[in-house]
Amino acid sequence: MRSIAAADSEDELKAATVWLFVQYSQLAPNADGTIAVGVVGRPSFAQTLRHTLEGKMANGHPVKVVELKADLHGSQVVYFAMDKSADLRRGLQSAQPLHALTIGESDRFLEYGGAVTLFIVDGHIGFETNIETLARSGISISSNLLKFGQIKNRTIGPAAR
């Protein structure tokens, strides 16, 4: 695969990073054995993500990308490609009981209850993780990955595996 550094656009960078999180996280597959990555919001990103993830296997499970509207069920990872705070709040609230890994790109994504927010600085992608949210969602992310990003609520119990 091409590395994130070689991504052509910001969406590709973000898609590659999402793919990293899928690979380095412990996700319970669906009944059909797939791991579903749901995209809420911008459809172009859903396309880019599909282009990045389709046909790949994560921990032995095929990965599929689905575009989500209101029902977030059935997705182990939910990417919020939107900036509106109200939508984010609502979406994150609905995702909270699903124990899904929530990834967003809004500056206040973590404040609204998201687990991982992506950002790009000087052409390089970075991420910040809310350990509390991760712990609450019951999803473990490899510390090998987490150590490349920033950690919020570091005092909260371990969420990394």
Residues of this chain that interact with another protein (CB under 8 A) are 1, 3-6, 16-17, 20, 22-24, 56-59, 124-125, 142, 144-145, 147-148
CB 88 to another protein: min, Å: 25
The backbone region for 138, taken as left when phi is positive above 0, alpha when psi lies in -120 to 50, beta otherwise, is: left
CB 121 to another protein: min, Å: 12
Q: Is the distance from CB of 77 to CB of 37 less than 8 angstroms?
A: yes
CB 145 to another protein: min, Å: 5
Query: How many Å apart are CA 39 and CA 84, to the nearest integer?
Result: 15
Burial of 146 (0-12, 13-18, 19+ CB in 10 A): buried
- Nearest CB to another protein, comparing residues 145 and 159: 145
- Nearest CB to another protein, comparing residues 93 and 143: 143
DSSP H helices in the chain: 10-24, 43-53, 85-95, 131-137, 143-146
CB 50 to another protein: min, Å: 17
- Nearest CB to another protein, comparing residues 40 and 53: 53
Rounded to a whole number, what is the distance in angstroms from the first to the last CA of the chain? Answer: 25
- Nearest CB to another protein, comparing residues 59 and 93: 59
